[in-house]
Chain A
Amino acid sequence: MKEFAYHRPSQIREALTMVVGNEGAQYLGGGTNLVDLMKDGVEMPTRLVDVRHLPLDGVRAAPGGGLVIGATTTNSDAAAHPEVRRRYPALSQAVLAGASGQLRNMATVGGNLLQRTRCAYYADPSQPCNKRSPGSGCSAITGEHHNHAVLGWSDHCVATHPSDMAVALAAFDAVVRYETLDGTHEIPLSEFYLPVGATPQHETVLPSGALITAVSLPKSAVSPRSQYRKVRERASYAFANVSIAAALDVHEGTVRSARIALGGVASCPWRARVAESVLQDGAATADKFRAAADAELSAAKPLRDNGYKVTLARNLIEAVLTELAARTK
């Protein structure tokens, strides 16, 4: 590991001035991903600015009726919070489906959004990887890619985003709040992650040195009737093959509102807007749910070894919507 300086600011502006304009400076949250990547030589910061002593911890009610989750709130505290469990249950379930008890106690909500892909080529500096070393090529496209993307990938990168939490946030139209030296900014999570294109090294729209301060969840009539389900290669403590966060409001057999996001299938949480529009005002039946899933997944382009993800995603959408419909009748 390369040597680095460590700072522990107590004010947001102080933290910003320590990172903005310093190429080697990075924010440190729980460190569960960053410290790991530093040990591998993938990340080599020369200055770490610890954000966990900034006043950014905790979950509070938002003026409009939603919730605001501070960026340094641990994954554990976010998942256990009564209002998250009551009003956005799929978010709590998504967080609990990720990592282990120890890691959830360390990892922060802001850091969760910014965690890097677990593509094995990305984590190995001896292998070509356009995300880690732009222009070096993508090893996964023809290599080991059984758990890589089926939607939205490019010839430059086929890695997936590993977060469970972000999938539920995508379904709930969460907004990311961040701070720069110019002030406070907000951006919908749906616009937060950049398409892969030819520059997979650029993952988000955050300006250099910007600090995520909170994630806000708008008030939602449908979010209390939501569910997260994750399929992985062992019972616990593994990244998703495919996961789904869905919310469904059914009235007299008709879908009034549907929200669906998929994990493990793309470089970012995949909001299934095509499926949602097929479902809107239609019959809440298994046939219709399957048709909506098929419409969404018609855009899928599986790689040599991950075609199973398309079938899995289709089955998950149908199964979870069917369960939610049975619950809300």
Chain B
Amino acid sequence: MTDDIRSEILLHVNGRTHRLSVDNRRTLLDALREGMGHTGPKKGCDRGQCGACTVLLDGRRVVSCLTLAVAADGAEVTTVEGLADDGELRPLQQAFIQLDGFQCGYCTPGQLCSAIGMLAEHAAGWPSAVTADISPDGPAPELDAGEVRERMSGNLCRCGAYPSIVRAVLETASREEVTR
């Protein structure tokens, strides 16, 4: 067994495959931003506390600043750049624009990726810390402002755009339920 400090990895980012040689210390966030030009994910705290670097890893939201690139070898990564469908913004992205879901915009890529992941978790029936009845036999938890705030608490917004972010997420959720 050789103890190499670098690794050859494959990352599938927004549908495109990248072959990279990385220092094992490289985080997924740095690999995306510095190595592949995906500057959508932002480096806020670099400690997993702010959520600005949130991406979807194999469909689930994670913080890319605490994910080692080498540990993501072979994974599907979706960044904010990959959310739009052939140039057409997603309903969530449109709702953020229409309802002023941001001010400076720095946290927005993380907010968007987190909300996409969160809505999928909710659709799968996952309860949250504010769900009154977590029994799997009862009705699925209804998404209201309290649920959205709890489920999105891993994404900080220094501008304090939270009320509009909550509205944008709820607006998207209700629309998706109509079309489902």
A and B found bound together: yes
Which residues of A come within 8 Å of B, CB atoms? 1, 3-8, 18, 28, 31-32, 35-36, 39, 46-48, 50, 52, 76, 79-80, 82, 85-86, 89, 92-93, 96-97, 99-103, 105-106, 235-237
Name B62's contact: one of A7, A48, A52, A105 (CB within 8 Å). A105
Tell me, in angstroms, the Cα distance from A5 to B3 when the chains sit together. 5
Min CB distance A226 to B, Å, is 11
Number of interface residues of B (CB under 8 A): 47
- Whether the Cβ atoms of A6 and B68 lie closer than 8 Å is yes
A3-B25, A237-B153 given; A101·B68 CB < 8 A: no
Tell me, in angstroms, the Cα distance from A50 to B9 when the chains sit together. 15
- Whether the Cβ atoms of A106 and B4 lie closer than 8 Å is no
Can you list, as one digit per residue, whether each of B142-162 has a CB less than 8 Å from chain A (1) or not (0)?
Answer: 000000011111110000000
Name B126's contact: one of A7, A18, A32, A76 (CB within 8 Å). A76
Name A89's contact: one of B24, B125, B134 (CB within 8 Å). B134
Min CB distance A92 to B, Å, is 6
Name B127's contact: one of A5, A96, A103, A236 (CB within 8 Å). A96
Residues of B contacting A39 with CB < 8 Å? 46-47
A35-B66, A36-B47 given; A79·B127 CB < 8 A: yes
A39-B47, A89-B134, A102-B51 given; A28·B25 CB < 8 A: no
Tell me, in angstroms, the Cα distance from A8 to B155 when the chains sit together. 30
A85-B127, A236-B129 given; A4·B136 CB < 8 A: no
Whether B135 is near chain A, meaning CB under 8 Å from some CB there, is yes
A36-B47, A101-B114 given; A18·B5 CB < 8 A: no
Tell me, in angstroms, the Cα distance from A96 to B129 when the chains sit together. 5
Whether B81 is near chain A, meaning CB under 8 Å from some CB there, is no
Min CB distance A198 to B, Å, is 31
Whether B54 is near chain A, meaning CB under 8 Å from some CB there, is yes
Which residues of B come within 8 Å of A, CB atoms? 1-5, 7, 23-25, 27, 46-48, 51, 54, 60-63, 66-68, 70-71, 73, 114, 117-118, 121, 124-129, 131, 134-137, 149-155
A-B contact pairs, 26 of them (CB 8 A): A3-B5, A6-B24, A6-B68, A7-B1, A8-B73, A18-B1, A35-B27, A36-B47, A46-B3, A50-B71, A76-B126, A85-B136, A99-B154, A100-B51, A101-B114, A101-B117, A101-B118, A101-B152, A102-B48, A102-B63, A102-B114, A105-B62, A105-B117, A106-B63, A236-B129, A237-B154
Min CB distance B69 to A, Å, is 10
Residues of A contacting B114 with CB < 8 Å? 101-102
Residues of A contacting B124 with CB < 8 Å? 80
Residues of A contacting B54 with CB < 8 Å? 102
- Whether the Cβ atoms of A36 and B48 lie closer than 8 Å is yes
Residue of B nearest to A97 (CB): B129
- Whether the Cβ atoms of B3 and A47 lie closer than 8 Å is yes
Min CB distance B164 to A, Å, is 19
Tell me, in angstroms, the Cα distance from A237 to B136 when the chains sit together. 24
- Whether the Cβ atoms of B61 and A102 lie closer than 8 Å is yes
Main secondary structure of the interface of B (DSSP, over half): loop
Residues of A contacting B153 with CB < 8 Å? 100-101, 235-237
Residues of B contacting A100 with CB < 8 Å? 51, 153-155
Tell me, in angstroms, the Cα distance from A80 to B67 when the chains sit together. 23
Min CB distance B15 to A, Å, is 21
Name A92's contact: one of B4, B5, B51, B134 (CB within 8 Å). B134
Nearest 10 A-B pairs (CB), nearest first? A100-B154, A236-B153, A5-B3, A82-B136, A237-B153, A96-B129, A3-B5, A80-B126, A6-B24, A105-B60
Min CB distance B132 to A, Å, is 11
Residues of B contacting A50 with CB < 8 Å? 71
Residues of A contacting B63 with CB < 8 Å? 32, 102-103, 106
Tell me, in angstroms, the Cα distance from A236 to B151 when the chains sit together. 9
Residue of B nearest to A96 (CB): B129
A79-B127, A86-B136 given; A1·B151 CB < 8 A: no
A101-B118, A102-B61 given; A236·B149 CB < 8 A: yes
- Whether the Cβ atoms of B154 and A85 lie closer than 8 Å is no
Residues of A contacting B151 with CB < 8 Å? 101
- Whether the Cβ atoms of A89 and B135 lie closer than 8 Å is yes
A86-B135, A86-B136, A96-B128 given; A101·B71 CB < 8 A: no
Tell me, in angstroms, the Cα distance from A202 to B1 when the chains sit together. 30
Name B121's contact: one of A6, A48, A97, A101 (CB within 8 Å). A101
- Whether the Cβ atoms of B66 and A1 lie closer than 8 Å is no
Residues of B contacting A32 with CB < 8 Å? 48, 63, 66
